[in-house]
Amino acid sequence: MIFLIYMGMLKYTGFAGAGESVTDLFDQIPAGVKSILGIGELDVTTIAGYYAVFYLYFMLLAGAHAIMLGAIIISKEERDKTGDFLFSRPVSRSRIITSKLIAALLNIIVFNLTTLFASLVFINIYHKGPAITDIIIQLMVSLFILQLIFMVVGTGIASVTKNIKRATSISAGILLTTFLISAAIDLYDKIAFLKFITPFQYFPAGETITTGGYSPSYLIISFLLIITFVIITYRFTEKRDIYI
Amino acid sequence: MSVLSMIYWTAAIILLLLMFMLMYPALSQDISVFESILNNFPLELRQALGLTTLNLSQILGYYGFVFIYVLLIGSIYAIKSAMAVLSEEPRSKTADFLLAKPVSRTTVVTAKVLSVLTQLAVQNIIFIGVSYIIMLVYGRGQFNVATLVLVNFSLIQVQLFFFAVGIFIAAVMKKIKTVLPIALGVVFAFYIIQMINQSINDPKLAYITPFAYFDVGKIIQNESYDMIFLGINFSIIAILTALTYLLYQRKDMPSI
């Protein structure tokens, strides 16, 4: 996890170093080309637009972190063979799950805030001009929703699968599949109807920056997804056979 | 179990290739229009966008674009199986069983390494065969087979890089409880470095990531590998493998 955050930092320095020259280059692009490239609605010459390009990779890393965290935190007891210790305590299983979910939630909040502060600091160092704090915060909120979705998908999968070793594999599979579908949608807009399958497409950075808000239908979908997977997590872990 | 997982991952790679290739006929129309517009713009501009080297309207150019995702998945598989096989004993608490046998640790490592290498080799043979068939169907003979082979052979080389990183991590870390998160983190990190390298075109960054050693666009353009990067890749693999042997010799094995 620290490694992931560290990589986030590294990315920024790379981005920051070359930021200026790239901004100059982007200035020369005629508007027509930009729209063909799919960055039309994004003004890459502004720091916000440029930041949005990197936002895709934050989503990938944050999603990977969240879904792995979710899958592991639930299956941990069986993996470490501490199930008999933990589950024989005089607390109900739902309480255990609640504390686990809160712990995971704190983790992703820390991850999110670290990304937020790193972004703000680096942008302030390298960007001279009007602050874009509100846009960054808005993007981080949508990143947080993405993290939440992937986290509860992870916990859901871990509570449904019988074999705990499968939980992380399936989670990784889901993450990669949704990421690839998202890449395919970016490439070929005729399959845009697939957008609702992949959380990577719920709150595209370009849209968030230009419209300054979130699409309500995707907010509802995210909300429903999160609720569904939380319910799945509770229901299936409650009745789960814990192998020791 | 590991044979099954090899089959799953190979199937995933092939499905991915197929999925993107199915989109090709529809896409190629749009792309050729787009490319003709793009070609009117200055070279620096196209460089910044990472579009100089990949010619998407050619089937091979498009294949190269898809191949980056193939590399991504193949690399995750390589590092995951390498890390899993060498960290299995501390994880399943069987170190006292295995390492008490009258074979040296070197033999143990060699056997483990060879088993993963065999899987990678089988995966590559299947992939190269299937991708050739897919290209025959979609390319209608309009591509250079030698270049396709060259592109395809970069898969095993990138995989070997991640394989070496995987066994090295397994040798260094005391105990790896769950393999996949580390595997995903490492591969994504290198992948993102490459994506950034492509968009900002910083030559220094290219030395860090194997995805840049085998830049598909350049391979297609030059119809050969970059010899310097080939050398770097080979050296890194050799060094990490040697270090793994050394470290594993003296590794403290927790048996409980």
Gap between the Cα atoms of B179 and A162, Å rounded? 19
Residues of chain A in contact with residue B49, where contact means CB-CB under 8 angstroms, are 37
Position B254 in a domain = no
Helices (H), chain B: 2-38, 43-48, 59-86, 88-92, 95-98, 105-139, 145-172, 179-200, 210-213, 216-222, 227-249
Mean of pLDDT values over A38-63: 65
Q: Is residue B255 part of a domain?
A: no
B100–A contact, CB cutoff 8 A: no
* B254 reaches A (C-beta below 8 A): no
Nearest to A18 among B27, B72, B202 (CB): B202
Nearest in space to B169 (alpha carbons), one of B105, B104, B108, B251? B251
CB atoms inside a 10 Å sphere around CB A244: 10
The answer to whether B22 contacts chain A (CB < 8 Å) is no
- B52 within a domain of the structure (yes/no): yes
Task: Tell if the CB–CB gap between A18 and B19 is shorter than 8 Å.
Answer: no
Integer Cα distance of B188 and B182 in angstroms:
10
As a whole-number percent, the residues of chain A with pLDDT over 70 amount to 69
Q: How many residues in chain A?
A: 244
Instruction: Kindly list the residues from chain A whose CB atom is less than 8 angstroms away from the CB atom of residue B12.
Output: 173, 176
pLDDT tens by residue, chain B, 256 residues: 578 888 888 888 888 888 888 877 777 666 666 666 666 555 555 554 555 556 666 778 788 878 888 999 999 999 999 999 998 888 888 888 888 889 999 999 999 999 999 999 999 999 999 998 888 887 776 778 888 888 899 999 999 999 999 999 999 988 888 888 888 888 888 887 777 676 655 667 778 888 888 888 778 777 888 888 899 999 999 999 999 999 998 888 876 6
Q: Higher pLDDT residue, B57 or A177?
A: A177
* Residue position matching structure tokens 């598989």: B77
Q: Is residue B223 part of a domain?
A: yes
- Looking at chain A, which residue has its C-alpha nearest residue B93? A80
Q: Is B242 on the interface with A (CB under 8 A)?
A: no
Sorted by sequence, the CB contacts under 8 Å of residue B95 that are 6+ apart come out as B89, B253, B254, B255
Q: Which helix (H) or strand (E) holds B54?
A: none
Q: Which residues contact B133 (CB under 8 A, 6 or more apart)?
A: none
**Full residue range of the structural domain in which residue B70 is found:** 2-249
pLDDT at residue B207, as a whole number: 83
- Report residue B71 as tokens: 């590399």
Nearest CA in chain B to A183: B69
Residue B42: predicted pLDDT: 54
Instruction: Tell me the one-letter amino acid at B21.
Output: M
Residue B206: closest C-alpha in chain A:
A14
The count of CB pairs under 8 A between chains A and B is 99
ipTM: 0.75
Total number of domains in chain B: 1
- Contact assignment for A29 to B41 by CB distance below 8 Å: yes
CA distances from residue B19 to A20, A191, A202 in whole angstroms, order as listed: 38, 12, 22
Which residue, among B210, B191, B181, B190, has the nearest Cα to B84 in the 3D structure?
A: B181
Contact B48, A25 (CB under 8 A): yes
| Residue B32 belongs to some domain of the structure | yes
Token digits of residue B111:
């056997």
Residues 164-183 on B with a CB inside 8 Å of A are 177-181
Report CB contact under 8 Å: B185, A4.
yes
Which chain A residues contact residue B11 at CB under 8 A? none
Where residue A129 falls (left for φ over 0; alpha for ψ -120 to 50; beta otherwise) is left
**Tokens read off for B55:** 């010619």
Which among A32, A80, A180 is the nearest to B16, CB-wise?
A180
Is the CB of A197 inside 8 Å of chain B's CB atoms? no
State the pLDDT at residue B75. 94
Contact A36 B180 (CB under 8 A): no
B15 touches chain A (CB under 8 A): no
The verdict on B195 touching A (C-beta cutoff 8 Å) is yes
Question: For the residues A119-141, what does the mean pLDDT come to?
Answer: 73
Helix (H) or strand (E) holding A150: helix A133-160
Rounded mean pLDDT of chain A? 75
For residues A1-11, one letter each, b for 16 or more C-beta atoms within 10 angstroms of the residue's C-beta and e for the rest, the string is eeebbebbebb
- Which tokens is B165 given? 């990183």
Residue at B256 is within a domain:
no
Tens of pLDDT, residue by residue over A194-244, are 778 888 888 877 677 667 677 788 888 899 999 999 999 999 888 887 776
Whole-number pLDDT of residue B201: 59
pLDDT digits (tens, 9 = 90+) for A23-34: 444 544 444 444
Please answer yes or no on whether A61 and B205 come within 8 Å at the CB atom: no
Predicted pLDDT of residue A55 = 78
CB A28 within 8 A of CB A192: no
Cβ distance B199 to A72 less than 8 Å, yes or no, reads no
> How far is Cα A147 from Cα A4, in angstroms, rounded to an integer?
14
